Structure formats: C-alpha cells, structure tokens
Amino acid sequence: MEAYTPYLWDLGRIAFMFAICLGLAGPLTWAERRQSAMIQDRIGPNRAALTLFGREIRAFGLFHPIADVIKLITKEDTINIHADRFLYNVAPFIALFPALMTFAVVPFGPDITVGGEVHRLQVARMDAGILVVFAISSIAVFGVTLAGYASASKFALLGGLRASAQMISYEVTMGLSVLGLVLIFGTLEPSAMVVAQGELIGGWLPRWGVFVQPLSFIIFFTAAIAENKRIPFDMAEGESEIVGYFVEYSGMKFGMFFMAEYIEITVVAGLLTTLFFGGWQVPYLMDGVEFVNAAGTTIVGTGFHFPWGGQLYTGEWVGAGLRVGAFLFKLIFLCWLQLMLRWTLPRFRYDQVMTLGWRRLLPLSLANLVLTAAVVLLI
C-alpha cells in the first residue's frame, strides 16, 4: 500500500484538475446563456427539468448542460463527402487535448504536509512551467486549422486560416507579456511565482502580478482572449460572417470544439489567477509568522496578519482550505469576466486584429519588458 501512495496522490491531483476543467465547462455553458439572458433582458434557459418523486426540479436551468450533452451524443454524425475523413475525425481531439493539458501546471493550492510528507497541490511541477503552457497551447492551433482544412468547406477553411494566423500572432505577444513577471519573480515555475506573490509591497499591498505589472496584465488578458477566439476576437467563428471553422461538424465532434472553448476559458482564468492574481494566495494570510494566543503563548504557524495590526490564527489546514477556496473564487470570477466581455463588445475585423496584435500590443509588451528589465537591474 505504501508503495502506491504517491500514485494515489497523483491520481487525486489529476482528478481534481479534471474536476475543475470539465466540471466548470458544463456550468460555464449554462452561465454563459444565463448571463447573456440577464444582460439582454431575457429569461434564458430554464426548461430542462428533472422529475423526482413526482416533483419537477428545474434548478434555474442547471440541467441544460446535461440535456445538451445527451442531445449532442445522440445526434447524427455527418461527414462531408469531400472531407478528409482522418483529419476531420482527429481535429476535435487535437483541439480539446491541449486545452485540458495546460491546466496541469497551474497550482491550485499551497504545499500541504500529510504524515510528515510534503504534497504539492499542482499536477505537474516543472522548472519551465510557463514555457510548457506556451508549448502546449501552440498545439491547439493544429486542431482548429485541421478542422477548417479537412471539412472541405470554404467557410470552414476561411475560419481555419483566420484562426491559425490569429493564434500564432497573439502567442508571441502573450509570451512576451509574461517575461516581465519572470524577470521580477526570477522563476518560470508557476507555484514559485505564486509563493513570491505572497509578499507585501510597503507592508500592505499584496505583491500580485497585476500590481507589479499592470500593463502586462492587460496585454496578457487581451492576447489570451484572442488566443481563445472569443468576441471581440472571434474571427475564426464570426457567426454572422463565416459561421466558423466547425461549420461542417455535428454532434459530439462539434461538442468537443465547444467544450474546448469553455475549458480554455477556465485555463485562461487559471493562468491569469496564477500569474497576476496571486494564485491561491489570500491577502495577509501568511505562513510561518508568530501569533500570540489567548493563553499568552507564542506559536508559529499560518494565519492572517493584517497591516492594521490585527491577527487571526487559522492553522495549516484551515489556511489551506481558504487558499484553495480563494483560488476557485478568483478562477470563477475571471471566467465570469470573460463571459461579460463576450456579451458586451462587437467583433474586430481580421486586419484590425492583426494590426492590434503586431503593431500595438507587441511593441507595447516589448517596451514593457525593456522597462521592467531596466528597473529590475537597477533595484
């Protein structure tokens, strides 16, 4: 049994990661529809019901994702006769796979000690964690481009071409925007970055990425939405123009593209949380600080140490719970923010997206990098 314990921990971590990614993808489709309904003064989906013991349970339409999946799975799977069958079938998997993989490097909680052993709450801890994110996300281009190419449809082809050009362009910007943070925190490893973000600037402001690199946050967020191909960058889909690279797909294969989009929302939110919003850090919740308890004895442990003088001992376990909770809260908030953007803005034109990427955001992120490097060098 002892020999298997590390593997059980690994399985547990992977299960938790999948629970976040897939578990959020379903509710996100519901949230998107419900959210848009709120914005647009509609009621939104509320009809999928479950009848239990003669009572109809609607739960605000929360069963809709399940109904959607049943519909998608039972739908006829059509393939255009001119399509390249192999690539056509494999493309949705290539699109979905990198979206699921990227989350592996995102730490969802602090290291915890169980039975004298330190366990990480992160699936894969690699020294080049950030680089792995970019390496994997560049594979996602293939899924979209192949889908467009293999469908044997001109509209899908246009969508695939748009998507490939856009994703490759914005990856450059995205990578450069993160380098400033790498310089400041001196590491490429996400969990080390999160730990570094636990410090305070001037004794009160958390040293979160968004505070030390605000410009980089805006650039990264913009590029991440472009990478995810959502409005205002949904050139590849452009529902009123070319309908999208997945126009020929039906059933669950379309569903996989759809799922990939929502998992990517979660991944983008996860990366933003990790890089810019202190990951699992709760402001002023610190490890290894001294506390004076009611009996007057001093203990060293985890707890809140407020800048205005108050303190609150939580202990390691409650602290870890709070931190995982904080991570999930930030994650869901950033997902919600992306949904809000989707229903607020119009769409750019193809050439405007390219201009924005190469001629505005790229020079801006380069300037940001040079400035950050100079400041880091001088301090």
Partner 1 sequence: MSTSANTSTKQGTISGSSTGSGSSTGASRAENSAGTPREEHMLLNMGPQHPSTHGVINLRVESDGEMILRVTPEVGYLHRSIEKIAEKVSYNGFMPYTDRVDYVAAMTANEGYAMVMERILGLVDEVPRRAYYLRVIASELCRIASHHVATGTMVMDVGAYSPFLWWLREREAINDFMEALCGARLTYNYMRIGGVMADLPPGFDRRVIRWLDHFEPSIDEFNRAASENKIYIERLAHLGVVDRDMAIAWGLAGPNLRASGVDFDVRKNIPYSVYPELEFDVPVGRGWCGEVGDSYDRYYVRILEMKESCRILRQALEGIPEGDTMAKVSRKLKPERDEAYAPVESARGEMGYYVVTDGEENAYRLKVRTGSFTATQIMQALGAGVLIADLVALFASFDVVAPELDR
Q: Which residues bind partner 1 (CB under 8 A)?
A: 36, 39-42, 80, 82, 149, 152-155, 157-158, 161-162, 231-232, 234-235, 238-243, 343-352
Please identify, using beta-carbon distances, which residue of 39 and 49 lies nearer to partner 1. Answer: 39
Please identify, using beta-carbon distances, which residue of 105 and 157 lies nearer to partner 1. Answer: 157
Q: Cα separation of 168 and 181, whole Å?
A: 21
- Cβ atoms within 10 Å, residue 77: 13
Please identify, using beta-carbon distances, which residue of 206 and 232 lies nearer to partner 1. Answer: 232
Tell me the closest approach of the beta carbon of residue 2 to partner 1, in angstroms.
Answer: 57
Q: Cα separation of 120 and 116, whole Å?
A: 13
End-to-end CA distance of the chain: 51
Tell me the closest approach of the beta carbon of residue 216 to partner 1, in angstroms.
Answer: 22
Q: Which whole-number Å values give the CA distances from 116 to 9, 120, 187, 271, 299, in the listed order?
A: 14, 13, 27, 30, 19
Q: Cα separation of 143 and 156, whole Å?
A: 13
- How would you label 279-308 residue by residue, b for 16+ Cβ within 10 Å and e otherwise? bbbbbbbbeebebeeeeeeeeeebbbbeee
Tell me the closest approach of the beta carbon of residue 242 to partner 1, in angstroms.
Answer: 7
Tell me the closest approach of the beta carbon of residue 36 to partner 1, in angstroms.
Answer: 7
Tell me the closest approach of the beta carbon of residue 240 to partner 1, in angstroms.
Answer: 4
Tell me the closest approach of the beta carbon of residue 40 to partner 1, in angstroms.
Answer: 4
Q: Which two tokens stand for residue 296?
A: 């007057």
- Cβ atoms within 10 Å, residue 179: 19
- Cβ atoms within 10 Å, residue 95: 29
Q: Cα separation of 13 and 17, whole Å?
A: 6
Please identify, using beta-carbon distances, which residue of 36 and 314 lies nearer to partner 1. Answer: 36
Please identify, using beta-carbon distances, which residue of 235 and 369 lies nearer to partner 1. Answer: 235
Of all helices (H) and strands (E), which one includes residue 181? Answer: helix 154-185
Tell me the closest approach of the beta carbon of residue 146 to partner 1, in angstroms.
Answer: 13
Tell me the closest approach of the beta carbon of residue 28 to partner 1, in angstroms.
Answer: 17
Please identify, using beta-carbon distances, which residue of 98 and 238 lies nearer to partner 1. Answer: 238
Please identify, using beta-carbon distances, which residue of 122 and 228 lies nearer to partner 1. Answer: 228
CB 124 within 8 A of CB 105: yes
Q: Cα separation of 354 and 161, whole Å?
A: 13
Please identify, using beta-carbon distances, which residue of 73 and 154 lies nearer to partner 1. Answer: 154
